Copies of this chain bind each other. A is one copy, B any other.
């Protein structure tokens, strides 16, 4: 928790914040070992960042006073990440990783090699997803929550949603065996598609290429989805 992310309702008048949830209170005490008088980094969800002074820390409350939260959050990555739905624990970690790296648009996609049961996972509950996004923001000192979209059918996604996404964006499909190595140093708007464990099936690869995506690879090594996504983002942008 390198930033304490405040929801607007946790801010009282302009210069005071008060938080009561057990997770952050515990983190302040056990990890930060915070004491009254300490200066910590605060941010408002969707807004600015600044320093605040801890003025009270009890069993059920922490209070901060601050002058202004007017520094901008770090810039986002210009990417819409389309990720074949990973298994639940890997989904949780992947959401944290990519949020920390600055992804703001995430679509979780069904493909042939995604186990159907994954769509029933409690990790897909919006509150659960939000928890992981918030952990990623707190880690990277960001305040802008990503949007997560669910695309439970590959064909409707490829036929209807993808053409719209690709308007004005470069489409990159990461898939082992493609001929183009992952490019570097991009700044243009991009859609990055990453398949499931086991990869896209040949028909899906054809469909995505036909829609205008370029196939790219990360080398001879096959990486786990959570590793591959971080490596791709780090190399692309």
Which residues of A line the B interface, CB within 8 A?
A: 2, 74-75, 96-97, 100-102, 139-142, 184-185, 218-224, 227, 230-235
The docked-state distance in angstroms from the alpha carbon of A193 to that of B38 is 30
A17 to B127, CA, bound (A): 49
What copy number does this chain have within its complex?
A: 2
The answer on a CB contact under 8 Å between B224 and A100 is yes
Instruction: Collect the chain B residues with CB atoms within 8 Å of residue A140's CB.
Output: 221-223
- Bound together, the chains give a CA A141 to CA B96 distance in angstroms of 27
Choice from B221, B232, B235 contacting A102 with Cβ under 8 Å? B221
Residue of B nearest to A232 (CB): B234
Q: In angstroms, how far is the closest chain B Cβ from the Cβ of A115? A: 11
CA distance A223 to B142 in the complex (A): 11
Chain B residue nearest to A73 in the complex (CB) = B220
Report whether A101 and B223 are in contact in the complex, using a CB–CB cutoff of 8 Å.
yes
Q: How far is the CA of A184 from the CA of B2 in the complex (A)?
A: 27
A100 touches B227 (CB 8 A): yes
Pick from A102, A184, A234 the residue with the most CB of B within 10 Å: A234
User: Contacts A74-B220, A74-B221; is A227 near B101 (CB within 8 Å)?
Assistant: yes
Whether the Cβ atoms of B101 and A220 lie closer than 8 Å is: no
Give the chain B neighbours of A218 by CB distance below 8 A.
234
CA distance A222 to B224 in the complex (A): 22
Q: How far is the CA of A218 from the CA of B231 in the complex (A)?
A: 13
Complex Cα distance, B2 from A218, in Å, reads 16
The answer to whether A139 touches B224 (Cβ under 8 A) is yes
Distance in Å: Cβ of A84 to nearest Cβ of chain B: 17
Within the complex, what minimum Cβ distance (angstroms) separates A128 from chain B?
19
The list of the 8 closest CB pairs from A to B, nearest first, reads: A231-B234, A140-B221, A74-B220, A234-B234, A230-B230, A234-B235, A97-B227, A2-B222
A125 to B2, CA, bound (A): 31
- 11 other contacts beyond A140-B223, A141-B220, A218-B234, with CB at 8 A cut-off? A74-B219, A97-B227, A101-B221, A101-B227, A140-B222, A184-B185, A230-B231, A231-B233, A231-B234, A234-B235, A235-B235
